[in-house]
Chain A
């Protein structure tokens, strides 16, 4: 299925969870925050939150800023 990931359309396995997506991408969960369809998914819900086709996912981290 397709989801929008950080603004780009990506093909991901059906019913993949947020935890699964992070593992699939090789991203360490503790250093990112995740938003699905403009709502934050807290870390305790990564395992239980399954993505659906067409979801808009944002994965963010801290960068230098003022």
Chain B
């Protein structure tokens, strides 16, 4: 049986969600997207550069079977995020949005007050809102309460590559909400993605860790395998940690005893 997960009417089997920013060129991005096996791919909404006529479109390079997840990155108020989400829907004709309301330029930490406010409005307008949030269980519950079908707490600041900084809070979030928890941001390398999945995350969203790796295509493959391995380990159920040894070979029947 396929190990799938759902958002509204959308069902996915891949648990790795990837971004499309920061790639050196579209061809490399396309190869990395294919290697990642992702089904959900984030894109940003920006003013069209009217000075560049016939500029190559990003969309032509995103494999057709992938579902676009427009974001509201760099929005600093609920109002800006709501406007951007509406424009993203008009571009995509879909209902998914990765909601970001940023509260601080240096850390890009979310403004959770604005986030909940924007989520409330967008859910009422029929959006499937995936909120990028702090690793705060209280905010996660508020986002669930206003109708978000998933929450996406950060592992560490966006693009930092610091990994999963607070696994305990992520676990508490997973205990607190019933909706899927996806870890969004902070992943630096494959083991970070595996850790997120082993904690019980439904998925992991990343961009920089792949796009800025020396070999983005190989890193995308590594991330795909790490997410898969972490998921399997979570399902398999890890052993409890013990301070002392527990022998793997029998302690009886030793020669010379």
Contacts and interface: CB of A to CB of B under 8 A. Distances in A.
B185 to A, nearest CB: 8
Given A33-B87, A40-B87, A27 B48 contact: yes
Contacts of A35: 83, 86-87
A63 B42 contact: no
A43 B19 contact: no
Interface in A7-64: 7, 25-27, 31-35, 38, 40, 42-43, 58-64
B208 interface: yes
27 contacts: A6-B50, A25-B50, A26-B54, A33-B45, A33-B87, A33-B88, A34-B90, A35-B83, A42-B90, A43-B90, A58-B47, A58-B87, A61-B46, A61-B91, A62-B46, A62-B91, A63-B21, A63-B43, A63-B45, A65-B19, A65-B20, A66-B19, A66-B42, A66-B159, A66-B205, A66-B207, A66-B208
B122 interface: no
Chain B: number of interface residues, binned into ranges: 35 or more
Interface of B: 19-23, 29, 42-48, 50, 53-54, 57-59, 68, 70-71, 73, 83, 86-88, 90-92, 158-159, 185, 205-208
Among A33, A34, A59, the one with the most B-chain Cβ atoms within 10 Å of its Cβ is A33
B90 A33 contact: yes
Nearest to B44: A65
B183 to A, nearest CB: 13
A11 to B, nearest CB: 14
A6 B48 CA distance: 8
A33 B47 contact: no
